[in-house]
């Protein structure tokens, strides 16, 4: 059980039934990634993939009010050999792929700055709300590297190729207001309201039929990698898997009986 394990760099809670809150918990270092944090994030999201029925929605946020995540902890990287650096970065690549592959809805509560790998992690969420004071950047080219945890792939798909090239090639920060205008975040809120608003949305999602939600997410994610005709076929196959479920019948009964459905994920 995920909530039964102690983590050194993460804080896992269940603020409401069916909602898993994953908090990056290194506020003294702006929640920057270490090797240990990468390993713990991989373990958490691999467990969710193995048993998606354990929860209905996941919320990802950072501890403290200063930063969501500042990216890799450069103090830990100081003095690394090329082999050590490459080994750690491969772990961070796996981390990003594992988070991006989460079968459950993954909502970001961006409570502060999201720079470099922190922004790449935010881009792995299905959608996000952000603090009005948040700042964003992919600063890797200013440090002699490049985005390598999905940034060159996810940012163009989110804000468009030409704007993403400007962000990545300059390394310049951009504001929460720009992130909203570009469609990178769905909503801006005062800092103290970000997490409560995300949790409220997570509760709405968690009240829906969990198998339906997971199949709909899969259809959107996979369909966007296909031409439209192939995507339509994929959607139908995803839909047909819901026909024999108990939840589909419960939804019909509840509608006709004028009551709230009780979905069991079966």
Active-site residue (options: 62, 108, 117, 151): 117
Degrees, nearest 5: CA angle 176-19-194: 20
Does 117 qualify as catalytic in the annotation?
A: yes
Does 160 qualify as catalytic in the annotation?
A: no
Active-site residue (options: 67, 120, 164, 209): 120
Residue 72, strand partner residues: 33
**CB-based contact 254:262 (threshold 8 Å):** yes
Alpha carbon distance 178, 100 (integer Å):
23
Active-site residue (options: 18, 40, 140, 206): 140
Does 140 qualify as catalytic in the annotation?
A: yes
Indicate which residues carry an active-site annotation: 72, 117, 120, 140
């Amino acid at each position: 059980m995920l909530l039964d394990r102690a983590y050194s760099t993460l804080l896992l809670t269940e603020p409401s039934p069916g909602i898993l809150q994953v908090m990056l918990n290194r506020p003294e270092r702006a929640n920057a990634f270490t090797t240990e944090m990468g390993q713990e994030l991989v373990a958490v999201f691999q467990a969710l993939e193995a048993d998606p029925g354990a929860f209905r929605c996941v919320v990802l946020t950072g501890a403290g009010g200063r930063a969501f995540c500042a990216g890799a902890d450069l103090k830990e990287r100081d003095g690394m050999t090329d082999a050590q650096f490459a080994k750690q970065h491969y772990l961070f690549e796996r981390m990003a792929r594992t988070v991006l592959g989460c079968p459950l809805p993954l909502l970001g509560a961006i409570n502060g700055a999201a720079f470099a790998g922190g922004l790449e992690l935010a881009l792995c969420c299905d959608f996000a709300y952000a603090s009005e004071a948040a700042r964003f950047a992919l600063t890797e080219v200013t440090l002699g590297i490049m985005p390598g945890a999905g940034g060159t792939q996810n940012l163009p798909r989110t804000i468009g190729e030409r704007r993403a090239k400007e962000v990545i090639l300059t390394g310049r920060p951009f504001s929460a207001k720009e992130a909203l205008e570009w469609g990178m975040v769905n909503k801006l809120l005062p800092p103290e309201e970000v997490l409560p608003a995300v949790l409220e949305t997570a509760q709405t999602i968690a009240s829906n039929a969990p198998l339906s939600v997971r199949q709909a997410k899969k259809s959107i994610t996979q369909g966007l990698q296909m031409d439209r005709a192939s995507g339509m076929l994929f959607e139908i196959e995803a839909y047909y898997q819901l026909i024999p479920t108990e939840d589909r019948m419960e939804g019909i009964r509840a509608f006709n009986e004028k009551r709230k459905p009780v979905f069991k994920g079966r």
